[in-house]
Structure formats: structure tokens, C-alpha cells
Amino acid sequence: MTARGAREAAVLEVLWRAEEPMAVREVLAELNRDRDDPLAYTTVMTVLARLADKGTLTRHPRGRGYAYQPAGPDPAAIAVRSVLAEHGDAALAHFVDQVRADPNVRRRLQRLMQRSPEEKPS
């Protein structure tokens, strides 16, 4: 994945987790929260504008700028809900088998489960 593609994916992840449209500064703060090499405001603004121009995001006037939100739902969330609806406990059993088989996945899941219910995954 190119750096540009990775930045777009990171921005989309932030916005899919958000409960309401976000301004550039809000997206920037979320992206830079755990980064050693912080992104510039103009970089995030450019990525948001390009995604809006592509129709991936919608933008609404907010103050002197815009607030952005995804034009559609998170495909990963849709896929998970679909698999669980179609396969129920069997899907969960396979998921547990995969977690048990891969120590890295198990550690990531444990970190996610230790977060408070209000905290969104990053």
C-alpha cells in the first residue's frame, strides 16, 4: 500500500469510529495520538479533501472550515455483522480457534478487550 493509500485508510478508520462528523483538527489529533512522527495539519486536510472529492466522504460547513464523515458504513463492521447473522455460534467458534492459533492475534485481542467500553478501537 502506498503512503497515500495508508493515510487515506487511517483517516477512514478514524471517521468510521467517530459518532459524528469531525473537523480537520479533530481527525489530526486522533491520527497523531500514538504517532512518533506526527502528521501535518495540511497533510490531513489534503487527504480529507481528496476523499471528499472522490465521494468517499461527505463534508459539511462547520465554523470557518468543514466537518467530514464517511459517505457509507465501515465495510469491516458490515462483514462481521453479516457473518455473525448468517453463521452465529459457528463463526464465533472459528474466530476463537484463530485467536488461539496465533499469539499475535491473541495479544491484540487482549489489548482491545482491556479498553473501557466507551473507548473506540484504534
Contacts of 18 (CB under 8 A, 6+ apart): 26, 69
Residue-level pLDDT at 64:
93
2: phi then psi, degrees, rounded to nearest 5: -70, 165
Q: Are 8 and 44 in contact (CB under 8 A)?
A: no
Q: Are 14 and 22 in contact (CB under 8 A)?
A: yes
Residue 96 predicted with pLDDT over 60: yes
Residue-level pLDDT at 34:
85
Question: Which residue has better confidence, 48 or 102?
Answer: 48
Query: What SS3 class is residue 34?
Result: coil
Q: Are 68 and 21 in contact (CB under 8 A)?
A: yes
Instruction: Classify residue 121 by its DSSP letter.
Output: P
pTM score: 0.65
Query: What digits encode the pLDDT tens for the residues 53-83?
Result: 999 999 999 999 999 999 987 777 777 878 8
Query: What digits encode the pLDDT tens for the residues 10-60?
Result: 999 999 999 899 999 999 999 999 899 999 999 999 999 999 999 999 999
Q: How many Cα atoms are found within 13 Å in the side-chain-facing hemisphere of 69? A: 9
Question: Which residue has better confidence, 59 or 6?
Answer: 59
Domains of the chain, with CATH numbers? 3-70 (1.10.10.10), 78-114 (no CATH)
